[in-house]
Amino acid sequence: MIRRARSKPISLSDDIASYVTPFLCQTVKNYGKNSFAWFGPRPRVTLMNPGLIKDVLTKIYDFRKPNTNPLTRVLVTGLVNHEEEKWAKHRRIINPAFHLKKLENMVPAFHQSCSEMISKWEEMVSNEGWCELDVWPCLVNLTSDVISRAAFGSSYEEGKRIFHLIDQLRYLTQQLIQSVYIPGWRFLPTKLNKKLKACDTEIRCSLKGVINKREKAMKAGEVDNDDLLGTLMEANSREIQENGGGTGMSLTDVIDECKIFYFAGQETTSVLLVWTMVLLAHHPIWQSRAREEVLRVFGHNKPDFNGLNRLKIVTMILYEVLRLYPPAVQLIRLVGKETKLGNLVLPAGVEISIPNILIHRDPELWGDDAGEFKPERFAEGVSMATKNQSSFLPFSSGPRICIGQNFAMMEAKIALAMILQHFEFELSSTYTHSPVLVLTAHPQYGANMILRKL
């Protein structure tokens, strides 16, 4: 969903939910936190009760992922959309790629990408030791570069070119989503459709070439499979050997998962980092506390994997940002057959909406200060902050919790730590706070900041 540009900005203290998701807010306001409304031709039940939410996200075979907009399926298909046996198989094969030991091996790739961004920022600093910069495109480029290195390793340059094409595919898809949806759109010979199809075809051909090349290198023992692609292919090969031909992922499946590596990894972390910088610029005391912790743990050395676990204040800050600006503003599930949920009897075909962005700011769950930036609420961890309720869902929950959450958190911690080691930052007078929904909540007018070199 793409929202049109707003003419009036909002304050950092305003509740962004009514601006980013007005339909959700109006539904809850008119009909209550646990309510029913029609979403076009589809009946939709909105749930904000933590107990019911836990049931929905745990019982994955009763409450399934709905068929997504065919436009977004061009961009995102794979593990996030699969169900039942196919989902279980893909999850099992992909899991090793996100094992903590594998993530530890990726730390040098994270360092390199962050160091290159920081070096560019240092070059921009004037003789007075400061510069004004829109950090949003820089953070988008950073996370794109990180996922390119992490996914393709030695084939980084090829991966970067492919992911540039995926960016183009995302742009074209967003253009189509903004237009009126017409059934059978894929078969209409419009200029935009032709561009979309050509871009997707080029991506698939390029990924196929990289995968085939990697497969040959693996058979010849000429490659170290520490990147996401290599680990995925290695696990897939083991699946086939152990369970027979036809049990692993097809080439098309691997290509789809590579696309998701990029899209989900890049999108989630870039928005987390930009809102973290915005909020820390607005709350300099927390910025100072985070910097003191980073310098205490790492000094001026590059962050290491083990030290990341000692960044308690940084972790609290990132959790609070994820609470206020969750990557997914709502989770949608579909009732496959008549199902009892609490006191409700839900017929087949009903959609369940779990509005993260409202749940995360609900005073009944988080207290009267729910709309305020207060990282200290996570001082004793997530379970104490939420009283063990399903009320903190930045990466969803249950068996289908985001497989890349550790990757995203590790990347965010390293990037933020390295930025804090080198710069102080504050919001520029030209900054306009206007979150807008572009799949995730983006800063509509960028994130202009004053950077001061330490």
Domain of 253: which CATH number? Answer: 1.10.630.10
pLDDT of 348: 92
**Residue 35's beta-bridge partner residues?**
46
Walk along the chain (454 residues) in steps of 10 and give the mean pLDDT of each run: 46 76 85 86 91 93 78 68 83 86 88 94 88 95 89 77 80 66 54 81 86 82 76 85 76 83 84 96 97 96 94 97 92 92 91 93 92 95 87 91 91 97 95 86 92 94
pLDDT of 260: 81
- Rounded Cα gap, residues 221 and 226, in angstroms: 13
SS3 state of residue 233: helix
Question: Is residue 270 located within the same domain as residue 356?
Answer: no
Look up residue 417 and give its two tokens: 């730590």
Whether residue 382 lies inside any domain: the answer is: no
Whether residue 379 lies inside any domain: the answer is: no
- Rounded Cα gap, residues 336 and 346, in angstroms: 10
Which DSSP letter does residue 98 get? G
pLDDT of 204: 85
Whether residue 168 lies inside any domain: the answer is: yes
Beta strand residue intervals within 60-142, DSSP E: 63-64, 130-134
Question: Is residue 181 located within the same domain as residue 39?
Answer: no
Place of tokens 């003191």: 292
Question: Is residue 25 located within the same domain as residue 161?
Answer: no
Question: Is residue 420 located within the same domain as residue 317?
Answer: yes
Question: Is residue 187 located within the same domain as residue 50?
Answer: no
Question: Is residue 323 located within the same domain as residue 399?
Answer: yes
pLDDT of 113: 93
Q: Contact at 8 Å (CB) between 73 and 81? A: yes
Start-to-end CA span in the chain (Å)? 40
Question: Is residue 352 located within the same domain as residue 314?
Answer: no
Write the CB contacts of 4 (distance below 8 Å, at least 6 apart in sequence): none
Question: Is residue 93 located within the same domain as residue 8?
Answer: no
Question: Is residue 23 located within the same domain as residue 137?
Answer: no
pLDDT of 127: 81
The string of DSSP codes covering 377-409 is GGTT-HHHHTTTSS---BTB-GGGS-TTHHHHH
Look up residue 356 and give its two tokens: 């993260």
pLDDT of 161: 83
Question: Is residue 340 located within the same domain as residue 433?
Answer: no
Count of domains forming the chain: 2
For residue 101, how many other CB atoms are within 10 A of its CB? 9
**Full-model pTM:** 0.91
Whether residue 383 lies inside any domain: the answer is: no
Structural domain including 69 reads 65-328+394-453
